[in-house]
Structure 1
Amino acid sequence: MGEFVDTVLRFPVVVLTFALVVVVCFWLLVLFGASDVEALEPVDALGLGGVPATVALSITIIVAWFTSLVVTVLLDGLDPTLVTVLGIAGLAIAVVVGLLVTRLILIPLRKVLPDAPAASRHDFVGLVCVVRTGRVDTTFGQAEVTAADGSSAIVQVRMAGEDPLPSGRTAVIYDYDADGEFFWIAPVDLDSTRD
């Protein structure tokens, strides 16, 4: 075990050993819920797009680390000056190999990890909702809305005008107020629109 530790702390692998420690710590944080897999935006450069940047960078660092470990073992016992020169070249090769292997691994991963846009409250604008509180007026109200994926949510709603909208009535969401964090609704009669 001591020989392995000595090897991973020698140049050139030591440069990527610290990057690997960061990757392992990040994935431990994800495992315990302290971080998110999509903590970084996808990286479209170098053909690494279509998956979260954390996944692409982690794969690249792991493959580059293993490649640089092989380079370090191959350079063992050579002249220190030669080890430095070949180590720099080996480190560059390890990074290139890491990127190339990552591109190959990401081809099937892109199919498994769909690139769906993040859900937004503005997705509810234009949908029909049902009033669930006793009334909806300019200062109070909640309604149930069903999203495109079939899930439903109870949201805060407000309605302009003097006549409150009673419980059970249908309405259409026509705007979202980001400051007040509520939706503006207008009553709609679905039976009359079907005629």
Structure 2
Amino acid sequence: MAVSLVVVFAWFTALIGRARTGFGGAWFMLPVALVGGWVGARLLVWPLRRLMPEPPPPPSHRDFVGLGCVIRTGRVGPDFGQAEVRAADGSSAVVQVRQSRDDAAGAGNVLRAGVCALIYDYDEDGAFFRVMPLPPSTG
């Protein structure tokens, strides 16, 4: 849209400049038309910018922390695992997950395919989420 506005204003500036200067001064009209197009588009867009809403922030890995997920691999350990998680907007993603050896030590803490888990942290260096078995509901 912005490029279209620049083109329209540049064309209009060149048209006016050609009419005022005649054919003899056409060599300098290209830079004048480009500047006129940029200035015209800038002046038109500047007040409209306040009417447009701010775009939402880009999604982050941190948005998944605190959400439940479903394990999709046969096991989850300190070096391997994947899970499916649903974002707040309803989309789903398969993410890399890890479970510490301490979390997996208990008999009921083994994470296998189909088990629900809780994402509690994101490791920036390893690009994976830390998960633990989903606590029982207290309802």
Supply the RMSD in Å over aligned alpha carbons: 3.1
Q: Over residues 48-72 of structure 1, what are the superposed CA-to-partner deviations in whole Å (9 max), with x where a residue is unaligned?
A: xxxxxxx54x245223312322223
- Residues 90 and 130 of structure 1: CA distance in aligned 2, closer, same or farther (over 3 Å): closer
- Deviation, 1:90, is 7.2
1:167-182 to 2 correspondences below 5 Å = 167-182=113-128
1:141, 1:156 within 8 Å by CA — same for their partners in 2?
Answer: yes
Q: Percentage identity across aligned positions?
A: 38
Residue type at the aligned position of 1:193: S
2:43 aligned counterpart, secondary structure: helix
Q: TM-score w.r.t. structure 1 length?
A: 0.54
Q: Which has the higher strand share?
A: 2
User: Which 5+ residue runs of structure 1 have no aligned equivalent?
Assistant: 1-54
- Residues 77 and 125 of structure 1: CA distance in aligned 2, closer, same or farther (over 3 Å): same
1:66 aligned counterpart, secondary structure: helix
- Residues 90 and 75 of structure 1: CA distance in aligned 2, closer, same or farther (over 3 Å): farther
Instruction: Identify the match of residue 145 of structure 1 among 61, 85, 89.
Output: 85
Q: TM-score w.r.t. structure 2 length?
A: 0.73
Q: Which has the higher helix share?
A: 1
CA distance in 1, matches of 2:39, 2:30: 14
Q: Please name the residue that 2:75 is paired with.
A: 135
Where in structure 1 do 4 or more consecutive aligned residues deviate above 4 Å?
86-94, 104-108
Q: Over residues 26-50 of structure 1, what are the superposed CA-to-partner deviations in whole Å (9 max), with x where a residue is unaligned?
A: xxxxxxxxxxxxxxxxxxxxxxxxx
Instruction: Identify the match of residue 75 of structure 1 among 12, 20, 26.
Output: 20
CA distance in 1, matches of 2:42, 2:64: 40
**Greater relative contact order (CA < 8 Å, ≥ 6 in sequence):** 2
CA distance in 2, matches of 1:143, 1:91: 53
